[in-house]
Structure 1
């Protein structure tokens, strides 16, 4: 694997980061939508473009990009399982954090789109000891503050330290997620939750392929 500091400076990334066997063919040239007239550095989801990745974020370097794929939702309090499509983007503006955005859509048994579904936005904030603070706000009225230990450049585990919600949101008391690189560069994750009176248990799982970066 390329030395992370060299990669952050714009040199070619190796297969353990980009996963070209499974990535979209044009992913190295693509980026998230840009604002060319923005007077400060815009977020970039492509390490070959834009500002250098901050040294503090090197432990999260493999996540930077846009990922797209499918997954499944299950829980005792809902019908299902439901299948969904999802896109997740981790980007940066040269400062010591990553911006995070995820949006999903429900799929029918044939893979057709039924309707838009959950959205999330937030920040991943690496700390000096390599641990991670993660803030995620959901369109459903839930805000989660996660904490995770130092990852190993291939997997990252985070667990809620605090959960807040609006009066109209469903009860969520705890959550944890495990993200990992699999299958020559795909990104898989599992989300477990304790909500609406249920104990912590699997809720969402997905496998995503790199489409940007």
Structure 2
């Protein structure tokens, strides 16, 4: 502004004779550098603000990244905890089911074969597991022979019952099947199977019983 005043006052007569266009050119020439200076200063200020804004966004991005990593870690911890609880529940369920299961062992005693063709084979049932109810056992042979061997309302843990198989002939060389049905400690109906065969081919051979795993 001082420069403009100086130029005007230095030659008032000349400036008084200037036309509007000349005044416009004069003022434009005087203020153009100032406008350019303001433009440069505004550009620099916007650059600083943009830089600050970029830094703020970068910090927010870092915080968001850290938050995502923390959430991922929490999710992984939760997943491992759920998996551990699931395995613990499965183990507990398996243990409870195993403890509720009666476990029968069948032992064969000596056999007897009489001259009239009748044969007798001894068998002993032993429960080494949980108490069982509604216990029923029968033997089945391939030729259609079947005989009920056991029918107990309650077969407690540690108890044993002896019975025998009576046939009008010798036990066949083929393998038979022993079925044992009962209700376990969880109230479920269960069936166990045993293979039945002669120990040897002598007249006094007993029977061997082997559990058939399901």
Q: Same fold (TM over 0.5)?
A: no
Q: TM-score range by the shorter chain?
A: under 0.3
**Structure with a larger share of its residues in strand:** 1
Greater relative contact order (CA < 8 Å, ≥ 6 in sequence)? 1
Report the TM-score, using the length of structure 1 for normalisation. 0.24
**Structure with a larger share of its residues in helix:** 2
Report the TM-score, using the length of structure 2 for normalisation. 0.24
